[in-house]
Structure 1
Amino acid sequence: MEASTTIRKMMAGNKIIVPSYQRAYSWETPVEKTDRNTQTDVFLSDLEEYSKSNAKNPYYFGHFLFEERNEKFQVIDGQQRLTTIVIFLSALFTKLKTIRNLNEGEEELYEDMVRRRGTIRFSTVDYDNQLLKDYVIEQTKTDHNGLDTESARRIVRAFDFYKKKLLDKPEEYLTRMLSIVSESNCTTHPVQDESEAIQMFIFQNNRGKQPSNLEIVKAQFMYNVHLHSKDNRDELIEEIKNRFEKIYKSISSIGYRINEDDVLLYTLRVHFNSLLETNALDKIDKALSGQNSIDFIKSFTRSLSVSFEHLSVFFVHHEHENFAIHSLITLWGIAIALPFILKAYRYGLSISEIGTLCSSLENLVFRQRLIGTRAEIPSRINDVFEKFTENYKDISPIIARIESMKTRSDWWWAYWNNEKLKEALQGGINHSVAKYILWKYEVYLEQQGKSGYCPTRFDKIISPELEHIAPTTEPEIKPHGYDNYDEEFRNQYLNCLGNYLLLSKSHNCAVGNISLSRKLATYDHNKQQREVRNLVSENGLWSKEIIKSRKDKIINVIIEIC
């Protein structure tokens, strides 16, 4: 490969692969029409802007770093751009072939950048490569079944997105875009020594766009092994690669639910047994500068792999089996809870015990999120976290501490007690939190007088939205059935729990800004809707008194169960 080249020349005659210890495809694609600035969308819009500009200099695709091994080029940096280029070109050639047969020059471009006979120019990580081949390159697969990883789903979404974008484009547009991509400039740096490739990756990304902390840590670990390990360097490098392959598979299965750098930090807190650890890179740098750096790399890489494996089970499998786990995950912002969860899995606690722990932690997370105090929680619970060990797996001290925080009134602990919670529930509430509260209230209503009842999961509510029973804008047609829209009603009653209702998106769109009697007639889909309907007598008003009474009941229930 030449140091300064074009996309076509870089790919022609070469076999470029993404090794499985590297990140799988992670670029996002617009899902809704309102989505903007996703990477695949920006990729195309940048090309289109360049096309309109009539610029004389070729488009520049950036720098690519490779390790040359066995006549193949392993991508160290630039795999996201390369994957997207191949997906886009495949969609472009597919569309062009519906208009006419490719001419000789276009056939050569296809062979140089996509496929020549049985040789596909680019391969992604092993576990997604067959999907890339079947769905994007050969297009023998047309359905969305069997997409086991989030990265596979991203590949499919990107290809579908570009096919749709190119569907109505004329031949002139397609040939212009093909010319721009194939003739685009790029720079490459192929190396044959792995330690040099890793060093280059660290050097580049310390001076450019930062990769994730997890990527930096992986590179640092491998580079340190190359520098300091003597007897079993190759074995340890292989072990790190295998563990990161497993990590990236777990990341792909977890998908959007958690940030990989957050998992790095949670693992650090578990590894060093302290919730007070806040800077993963600094802590790891100090550990790597010590005398036992190789031992640390081995143990911490193992810890990382185990954390991602357990979180994959937690988010993907147990969330569907255990309602308490589902309930905690539904409440976003559960960072304080996850180090406890990671320990519980490591120590082999049963799913029932983990569910009990999740219920208790959910109460704490909910109070922290709703009350919004600047007081920090980790120092209040770090001691029970430290004592929760392999030799002492009892979760009761953790649960007891959280229960005590609900009632304690001394200043160090009083930030999250029932009185503070009651105060926080009085006025307007963040809509996502309000939806969570009303879902918990719905579950409470469902369980009254019933035993062994399977509660409604939050994800069974189709596109849940928050409805104002008395609409924020007073209906023009009168009588409308709502109380007088005076200043007190607008300021104190419209935006409070008593006037909120949990509806599906379609139901919310259907009711709109209509009269109370018509709206109540639609309230028959769940317990709280029917309860609201029964609160109003025939031809009665949705009054301040009813709203206050309902708000007080919801608050009392939430304090009781949370």
Structure 2
Amino acid sequence: MEASSTIRNMLANNRIVVPTYQRAYAWDTPAEGSTRVSQTAVFLSDLEAYRSSNSRSPYYFGHFLFEQTQGEYRVIDGQQRLTTITLFLAALFACLQAKRALTEDEQDCYKDMIKRESQIRFKTVGYDNQTFVDYVINQSRTVAPASLTTSAQRLINAFDFFKKKLGSQPEAFLTDMLRIVSQASCSTHPVRDEAEAIQMFIFQNNRGKRPSNLEVVKAQFMYAIHLHSEDQEARDNLIEEIQNRFETIYKSISAIDYRINEDDVLQHTLRVHFNSLWESGALDRIEKMLTAESPLEFVKDFTSSLAISFEHLTAFFGADERSSFPIHSLVSLGGIGIVLPFILKAYRFGLPLPDKNQLCVVFESLIIRHRLIGTRADITSRINDTYEAFTSDAPAIGPILENIERLKTVGSGWWAYWNNEKLAEALEWGIRHSTARHLLWKYEVHLEGQGQRGYEPRRNDDIKRPELEHIAPTTEPTASPHGYGAYDETFKSEYLNCLGNYLLVSKSHNCAVGNIPFSEKLETYQHNFQQREIAKFVSAGSIWDQNAIQIRHDKIVATLMAEL
């Protein structure tokens, strides 16, 4: 490869592969009708902007770093861009062929950049490559397989996105785009020494976008192996082991994407590995361990620990969250990072599901109290001792439950910030909408479950785009009579923004009712138990006033106090 090249020349006559221990495809594609910015949409809009600019300089795709091995180039840095370029070109050729036969030069371009006979120019990670070949390169499948990794689904989504966008364009647009991409400039740096390639990845800063901490740690580990291994065989064996661990890790990342950030998993694993919730600054801690005695032992042990964390979180956020209501409830609350080290330990110690469920119930209660009461009290200092005592030699959850129960019931002093008395006070005042939505969902579950045998609780995600509606609107309706009682200062300051006046509705329902009179609004309250229950609280004459709000508020608070 030449140091300064074009995309076509870089791909031509070369076999470029993504190593299995590298991250799989991670770029997002906008959903149908979505206005959210995604990497693939930006990729396309950048090319369109360049085409409109009439620039005389070639488009620049950045720098690519490769490890040159016998017969192939392994991508060290730039694989997300290179994958997207291949997806775009495959879609472009498909759209162009749908309009007419390719010219001789276009056929040569296809052979250089996509496939010449059986030789495919670019290969993604092994576990996604068959889908990539079938759906994108050969296009022998038009329906996605039933079972896909998240990264494989992203490949399909990006390819379909490009096909749809390009398919609606005239022929001249497609030929312009083929010229722009194939002639786009790039710089490459192939190295034969893997240690050098890893070092370059650690220090490279591509267009100011920094790699994740997890990617940096992986590179640091690989470099440490090259630096400290005593002989070639030991080095090769440990590299293979670390590569296999990271292949497992990246598969897990695909499974739990959007649930938890990979760097947060790294941080939580440090807290498990060193048995302290005070662990922070992952890169500094790991760098320190790599300069201490026995760095390779740490690399081996911690990589194993990291892979186990990802494996357990895949189960926690996946099958277990779908089958266990307490886990689902805690996950739905969000912002649960402080308790995940406890959860990871519970999985590592092989605790049964009922124990995990109990942990989720008590920690959900603790996090809600912490959010509602809003003190400066530090949650870590109140649970770290219990965390450190929770070990494989003493895996019982009893001390954890007792500690949290003490926090809920202690009468006064330093430990009393989140007791039941403070919780009851906090529930009387305005509550952040995200937390109030969660509380009203819990109330809905309570109402649905009353008197029912074999009841399966309603999942939070069963409610389509849930929102909070103010039953009595925050702005007094102009129509009179409107049925909401007198909008005096007491009503506005104490009753409008409390749980008694909040109602869980769908977004479409909320938009539909707005500031209409209460009698009309009441007729729409038919979609869940708490909506249908509103009629029971209404004062004589169907007036939703402060008395009705107070009665409902007291009932909701009593229910929550019993559960939290």
TM-score by length of 1: 0.96
Q: Give 1:70 deviation, angstroms.
A: 2.3
The answer to whether 1:463 aligns with 2:465 is yes
Taking the TM superposition and a 5 Å limit, the aligned residue runs for 1:402-551 are 402-537=404-539, 539-551=541-553
Greater shift, 276-285 or 370-379, is seen at 370-379
**Mapped contact 2:124–2:132 kept (Cα < 8 A):** yes
Aligned partner of 2:392 in structure 1 is 390
Matches of 1:255 and 1:385, distance apart in 2: 27
CA gap 1:167/1:409 in 2 versus in 1, 3 angstroms:
farther
Q: Percent identity?
A: 61
Aligned partner of 2:65 in structure 1 is 65
Matches of 2:253 and 2:555, distance apart in 1: 41
Q: Give 1:411 deviation, angstroms.
A: 4.1
The answer to whether 1:373 aligns with 2:375 is yes
Q: Give 1:404 deviation, angstroms.
A: 1.0
Aligned partner of 2:132 in structure 1 is 132
Greater shift, 357-366 or 548-557, is seen at 548-557
**Mapped contact 2:135–2:144 kept (Cα < 8 A):** no
CA gap 1:420/1:34 in 2 versus in 1, 3 angstroms:
farther
Aligned partner of 1:300 in structure 2 is 302
Q: Give 1:32 deviation, angstroms.
A: 5.7
Matches of 2:208 and 2:112, distance apart in 1: 30
**Mapped contact 2:8–2:183 kept (Cα < 8 A):** yes
CA gap 1:122/1:541 in 2 versus in 1, 3 angstroms:
same
Taking the TM superposition and a 5 Å limit, the aligned residue runs for 1:26-175 are 26-31=26-31, 33-175=33-175
Deviations 1:420-478 (A, max 9, x none): 32333333322221111101111122233344422111122222222222233444433
**Mapped contact 2:16–2:121 kept (Cα < 8 A):** yes
CA gap 1:184/1:372 in 2 versus in 1, 3 angstroms:
farther
Any unmatched runs of 5+ in structure 2? none
Matches of 2:273 and 2:61, distance apart in 1: 40
Matches of 1:104 and 1:478, distance apart in 2: 76
2:166 maps to a residue whose letter is L
Deviations 1:154-192 (A, max 9, x none): 212212222222232122222212211111111111111
Aligned partner of 1:12 in structure 2 is 12
Matches of 2:500 and 2:89, distance apart in 1: 55
Taking the TM superposition and a 5 Å limit, the aligned residue runs for 1:230-245 are 230-231=230-231, 232-245=234-247
Deviations 1:126-180 (A, max 9, x none): 1111121222222232234524221122212212222222232122222212211
Secondary structure, aligned partner of 2:338: coil
Matches of 2:452 and 2:399, distance apart in 1: 31
1:107 maps to a residue whose letter is Q
1:397 maps to a residue whose letter is P
Aligned partner of 1:401 in structure 2 is 403
Matches of 2:206 and 2:62, distance apart in 1: 16
Aligned partner of 1:263 in structure 2 is 265
Matches of 2:156 and 2:166, distance apart in 1: 15
Aligned partner of 1:276 in structure 2 is 278
> Number of residue pairs matched?
562
TM-score by length of 2: 0.96
Deviations 1:509-531 (A, max 9, x none): 44343322222222222221121
**Mapped contact 1:367–1:416 kept (Cα < 8 A):** yes
Matches of 2:418 and 2:22, distance apart in 1: 43
**Mapped contact 1:517–1:539 kept (Cα < 8 A):** no
The answer to whether 1:326 aligns with 2:354 is no
Matches of 2:85 and 2:489, distance apart in 1: 58
Matches of 2:207 and 2:414, distance apart in 1: 43
Matches of 1:335 and 1:537, distance apart in 2: 44
Aligned partner of 1:222 in structure 2 is 222
Deviations 1:346-402 (A, max 9, x none): 001011111111111111122223333333211211111011111111001111111
CA gap 1:539/1:109 in 2 versus in 1, 3 angstroms:
farther
Any unmatched runs of 5+ in structure 1? none
Greater shift, 544-553 or 30-39, is seen at 30-39
**Mapped contact 1:225–1:294 kept (Cα < 8 A):** yes
Deviations 1:246-272 (A, max 9, x none): 000111111211100000000000000
Deviations 1:465-512 (A, max 9, x none): 222222334444332222233444334333221111112234334434
